[in-house]
Each structure stands twice: as C-alpha cells, then as structure tokens.
Amino acid sequence: MWGVDRIPLSLIRSDDRGHTWRRVLDLETRETVPAEVTERAGDRAFEMSYPTVVLDSEGDAHISYSYCRLAIKHVIVAREVIEAAE
C-alpha cells in the first residue's frame, strides 16, 4: 500500500501454527527513527518494507528490511528474547 506509514515494524511469534500470535518486540517505531533520518527520508521516513527473517543454528533471528528507503537494516534478536515473549 502506497502513501501510508509502514510502522511499527514488529516481531511476533506463534506457537500454534499461526492460530494465535504474540508480540516479541517492536523493531522500529516512530520514536526509534532519529530526526536526521526523518529529515533526509522525508515522506518515506516511516517506511519499513520487505522484512525477511532467518533463524540461525543457535535460534537467533536475523531480520533484514528496507529502512526508510535509505538502506537495508540488519537486526539480530537473541533466541532468549524470542522465547521470553509472553
């Protein structure tokens, strides 16, 4: 969908094959985007797009996504954080 904010970007998990979901954490919110990025990105400042998640052999989640159409961001979320989500 064009012309709308794509934020927050959240990591959620399901333990029952997608019947129910719970939030692990917000990767990006309006508050986490620095002012200098919002100035540079303009109307794209709150556009987080095309997220991809890969679990490594330790169970950590490697998440990559388009960050404000300025860069590709890579975030690692530890298995312990994912497992602790309630």
pLDDT of residue 1: 59
How confident is the model over 56-85, as pLDDT tens digits?
A: 999 999 999 999 999 999 999 999 999 998
Give me the half-sphere count of Cα atoms (radius 13 Å) on the Cβ side of residue 29.
4
Looking at mean pLDDT, say which of 16-20, 39-43, 44-48 comes out highest.
16-20
Which residues in 24-38 are b (16+ Cβ under 10 Å) and which e?
beebbeeeebeeebe
pLDDT of residue 43: 84
In a domain, 19, yes or no: yes
In a domain, 1, yes or no: no
Residue 86 has pLDDT above 90, yes or no: no
Give me the half-sphere count of Cα atoms (radius 13 Å) on the Cβ side of residue 78.
3
Domain encompassing residue 75: 9-84
In a domain, 45, yes or no: yes
In a domain, 4, yes or no: no
Residue 28 has pLDDT above 70, yes or no: yes
Overall number of domains in the chain: 1
Question: Mean pLDDT for the chain?
Answer: 93
Q: Cα separation of 77 and 24, whole Å?
A: 10
In a domain, 3, yes or no: no
In a domain, 17, yes or no: yes
